[in-house]
Amino acid sequence: MMTHRAGRKLLWATALLLLASPHIVRAEDESVPTDRLLPPNVSFYLTVPDWEQLETRWNESLMGRLRQEPKMAEFIKELEGQWKKWSEQTKEKVGLPLEDILKIPGGEVSLAVVSLPGKGPAFIALLNYGENDEEVEKLLGKAEEALEESGAKKRESSKDDTTIITYVMAKKGDDEDAPARKPKDNTVSYFQKDSWLVVSSETAALEAVLTRWDGKHKQTFADNDVYQYILERVQPTDDTDAAVVWYLNPLELVRTGVQQAGQGNLQAQMALGFLPALGLDKFKALGGSYDMSTEEFDGVSRTLLYVDQPAEGVLNVFQFPAVDQAPPKWVPNTASTWYGINWDVTGAYNSIEKLVDGFQGAGTFSNLIDDLAKKEGGPKLHLKRDFFDLLSGRMDVYSAPPAEAAAEAEEVQLNRTLMSFSLKDTEKMKGTLTKLAATPGFPGTKRDFEGATIFEIRNPVPAAAGGSFGIAAADNKLMVSSDVTLLEQVLRNDKDQKPLSDDPEYQQIARKFPSKSSIAGFQRQDAQVKALYDMLKSGQAPIPGTDDIDFSKLPDFSVIQKYLPATGSYAEPDKNGALMVSFTLKEKFGSK
């Protein structure tokens, strides 16, 4: 699963591509859903149920509307120039320009990895091309020409009156009379049927799909109980289908990979044997959906982690009970992001202790912690009594734009971040910090500020996050900040500073939160994106493959701000794991 930051970069890269692409019209088609065409043992599945609907929803979304923004016209021309270049390169390689390739899908488009008995994982791509037969034939012709030029041997087989074409690559350095390598190692197969093109790395996988072609087979991926439960929990609340649906069973993917590696891979076999002891065999799958331009949201993603209950081993380290969530009053309304997290710290510590003792014997972990506390030359701190026992489990994280002085610097500054851990005993935590600072070689200094002691450590990358890190224990919380000035702002307790919890934009997002959650988050997209936008516009953050695009032609950031409304996110326990939701509102607050 991608991180939030990686996902945002992918979204912006996709946005640049779609901003430049022409409008595409496709044909509608009613077919058996691809999850009913696949055999049961699927470890990965990604599908766009209706390609035409995906484009329609994109065009209706804020990013789609941004393409029509008059002040974006100059930059759009830059993108169209790059698009033309990519299109010509694609035509040279596959015989069709990009715009023609994007016209091909006429219905559902899916990718999957399936496990086949005795053959390991096989990749399958399923494409409904509607009435675009001519474009498909051109693509296949170019692909077959390239395969034959590389020395691949063509074979044909038949299943249920459907011809399957298979290309087998000969061993490197072998002559024509030498036997080909085993098909599972180097084959590509495909068939065409009822306006579908289905491609796989295994002929047997295509045969399994053809066996299920009428949608009436009793053993299909669609009948997988875990997949069905995930699908039920992540589909939109109205009667529409999500624009994108995905599913991943990481353990199945690992198991089939190990099986394919053979019995000789003893290390991999041993690693699989440890999964039950670690409790990881309870983690069955994760899956989700993404939708755009819904009645409520501009965009919304839902992800479910499916875990057999009760969770055991490592999984018990990550228990987040649901509670009332709201930003504390000390989080200012200038915050660009805020996350509230409720973690069962005591349960996590006990789970780690149980895991270690399960492998090494009773008392091993506690003896290790006791020995560390007595180590000569160390801070003489007991990790449990002097740290973990002092934490309540409540955490708040917020970020803010650079300080005014940093914002005026020539180099683009990234946002500052502060993490707060609620404490059961502030005085004991102060003692813990004092002992740490007294340890020989401590890289920082300490000073008094507003009745609290700040431990300050010079930031090795000051341009990225501020001059110095700051750490302090005060007002029932342990605070760690990437920029000490942000910590000072909280300690100052400025009564004139309005809290984020009273901010109308936050309140608009908070109305979409459940009454209780494990994690809740609020993000101002404009504040998060601005630093990256400025870096692109100034040439400080080049994107590989876009050397011919002049990002200085991007309009002033104020032009796109109205297309960047606030986003919200939350996670809540589910009877079979946890559900995570992230959403973007349809309009920026106050833009109407």
Q: Is pLDDT above 70 for 9?
A: no
- 3-state DSSP assignment of residue 308: coil
Q: Which range is least confidently modeled, 237-241, 279-283, 552-556?
A: 237-241
Model confidence pLDDT, tens digit, residues 325-356: 999 999 999 999 999 999 999 999 999 999 99
Residue 341 — left, alpha, or beta (φ > 0 → left; ψ -120 to 50 → alpha)? beta
Q: What's the CA gap between 405 and 414, in Å, rounded?
A: 13
Same domain, 110 and 211: yes
Q: What's the CA gap between 535 and 538, in Å, rounded?
A: 5
**Span 559-588, mean pLDDT?**
93
Same domain, 385 and 522: yes
Q: Is pLDDT above 50 for 178?
A: no
Q: Is residue 444 part of a domain?
A: no
- What pLDDT is recorded for position 24? 38
Q: Is residue 424 part of a domain?
A: no
Same domain, 339 and 235: no
**What is the residue type of 320?**
F
Give yes or no for a contact between 132 and 104, defined as CB atoms under 8 angstroms apart. Answer: yes
Same domain, 313 and 181: no
Q: Is residue 30 part of a domain?
A: yes
Q: What's the CA gap between 466 and 298, in Å, rounded?
A: 34
Q: Domain ends where: 212, 230, 265?
A: 265
**Span 156-174, mean pLDDT?**
82
Question: What is the value of pTM for the model shown?
Answer: 0.85
Give yes or no for a contact between 522 and 507, defined as CB atoms under 8 angstroms apart. Answer: no
Pairing of strands 162-168, 477-481: unpaired
**Span 455-475, mean pLDDT?**
79
Same domain, 171 and 125: yes
In the 8-state DSSP scheme, what is residue 277?
Answer: H
| Band of pLDDT at residue 372, cut at 50, 70 and 90 | very high
Proportion of the chain above pLDDT 90, given as a percent: 56
Q: Is residue 135 part of a domain?
A: yes
Same domain, 303 and 208: no
- What pLDDT is recorded for position 403? 67
Q: Is residue 460 part of a domain?
A: no
Same domain, 117 and 261: yes
Same domain, 357 and 496: yes
Q: Is residue 273 part of a domain?
A: no
Q: Domain ends where: 265, 290, 313?
A: 265
Give residue for tokens 């939109």. Answer: 236
Domain range spanning residue 534? 281-419+482-585
- What pLDDT is recorded for position 592? 55
Model confidence pLDDT, tens digit, residues 419-428: 999 999 999 9
In the 8-state DSSP scheme, what is residue 475?
Answer: T
Count: domains in the chain: 2
Closest CA to 128 of 193, 190, 56, 217: 193
Q: Domain ends where: 232, 265, 298?
A: 265
Give yes or no for a contact between 51 and 106, defined as CB atoms under 8 angstroms apart. Answer: yes
- What pLDDT is recorded for position 590? 64
Q: Considering only residues 96 and 128, tell me which one the structure prediction assigns the higher pLDDT.
A: 128
Same domain, 261 and 287: no
Same domain, 516 and 554: yes
Q: Is residue 430 part of a domain?
A: no
Q: Is residue 147 part of a domain?
A: yes
Same domain, 225 and 313: no
Same domain, 256 and 298: no
